[in-house]
Amino acid sequence: MANLLQLDSSPRGDRSVSRMLTKEFVNTFQLTHPNASIVYRDLGRFPVPVVSEDWIAAAFSAPTDYTPAMAEAIRVSNELVDEFLAAEYYVVGVPMYNFGIPATFKAYLDQIIRVGRTFAVDESGNYQGLVTGKKMVIITARGGTYPKDTPYHAYDMQEPYLRLAFGFIGITDIQVIHADNLMAKGEVRDQAIAHAQSALKDAITHW
C-alpha cells in the first residue's frame, strides 16, 4: 500500500496557494492510488518546536545517557522521524519567505535531519543519506519569479536549499513545481496557478 506524507507549511488557510495545490495533488494521487494511506502534517498551523540544548545533547548521546529533559526533547523528534521514514511518497507545500523557506519548515527539517536516523557518518567522516528509494514533489508558492538566466535566479535560496537538505538525507528523486508570480493580478496569476496545476498532474503520472 502506498504511503504518502503531505506536509503544509503556510500559516494561511483558504488563501494559501501552496495548501490548495498540495490538496489538489493528494486528490489526484488518490485517483491513481485508491488504497493509498495519506498522513497529513500541518507545520504552518501547528509548528514543531525549535531545537533546544537538551535536544542537541540527546541527538548526540545514547538513550541510556538521557536526562528526563533530554528524553522529552528528543521524543518529539523521534515521532517526526518515524512518521517521515514510514512514507514512500512525499508532497511538500512551501511558501517562499524572504528568498528561503518559512521558519516553521526549517524547524521541521532540524527535527528530522538526525545523525543515526536519517543520515550516517562513516569512520572517514563521509556522510550517507539513510532515506533512500523515496519520491518527493515539492510545491512552492512565491510572490515573484526567479527564472534561470536572469539576475533574480540567484535570489532563490528555496529550491537549492530544499534539494540539498533532502538530498543530504538520501532523497534525490525530487520534482519541484513552482507557483510563481502570485503577487501579480488577473491573468498572469491565473496562468501561473494553472501551470502549477498541470505540472502536478504530470508529476503524478510519472510516479
Q: Does 147 bind ligand FMN (CB under 6 A)?
A: no
Binding region for ligand FMN (CB under 6 A) out of 61-69, 136-144, 163-171, 196-204: 136-144
Q: Does 142 bind ligand FMN (CB under 6 A)?
A: yes
Q: Does 98 bind ligand FMN (CB under 6 A)?
A: yes
Contacts of 75 (CB under 8 A, 6+ apart): none
Q: Does 22 bind ligand FMN (CB under 6 A)?
A: no
**Bridge-partner residues for 89, per DSSP?**
4, 135
Residue 149 in grid coordinates: 538566466
161 is an annotated ligand-binding site residue:
no
DSSP 153: G
Q: Does 95 bind ligand FMN (CB under 6 A)?
A: yes
Q: Does 81 bind ligand FMN (CB under 6 A)?
A: no
DSSP 143: S
Q: Does 144 bind ligand FMN (CB under 6 A)?
A: yes
91 phi, psi to nearest 5 deg: -125, 125
Binding region for ligand FMN (CB under 6 A) out of 58-66, 71-79, 89-97, 116-124: 89-97
Contacts of 163 (CB under 8 A, 6+ apart): 174, 176
Q: Does 166 bind ligand FMN (CB under 6 A)?
A: no
Q: Measured from the CB atom, is 9 or 118 closer to ligand FMN? A: 9
45 phi, psi to nearest 5 deg: -95, -25
Element (H, E) at 95: strand 89-95
Q: Which amino acid belongs to residue 86? A: A
For residues 65 and 32, the answer to whether their CB atoms sit within 8 Å is no
Which residue from 49, 63, 143, 160 is in contact with ligand FMN, where contact means CB under 6 A? Answer: 143
Q: Does 17 bind ligand FMN (CB under 6 A)?
A: yes
Q: Does 150 bind ligand FMN (CB under 6 A)?
A: no
Q: Does 196 bind ligand FMN (CB under 6 A)?
A: no
Q: Does 10 bind ligand FMN (CB under 6 A)?
A: yes
Contacts of 38 (CB under 8 A, 6+ apart): 4, 6, 26, 30
Site of interaction with ligand FMN (CB under 6 A): 10, 12, 16-19, 95-99, 141-144, 182
| Residues flagged as binding site for FMN | 10, 16-18, 96-99
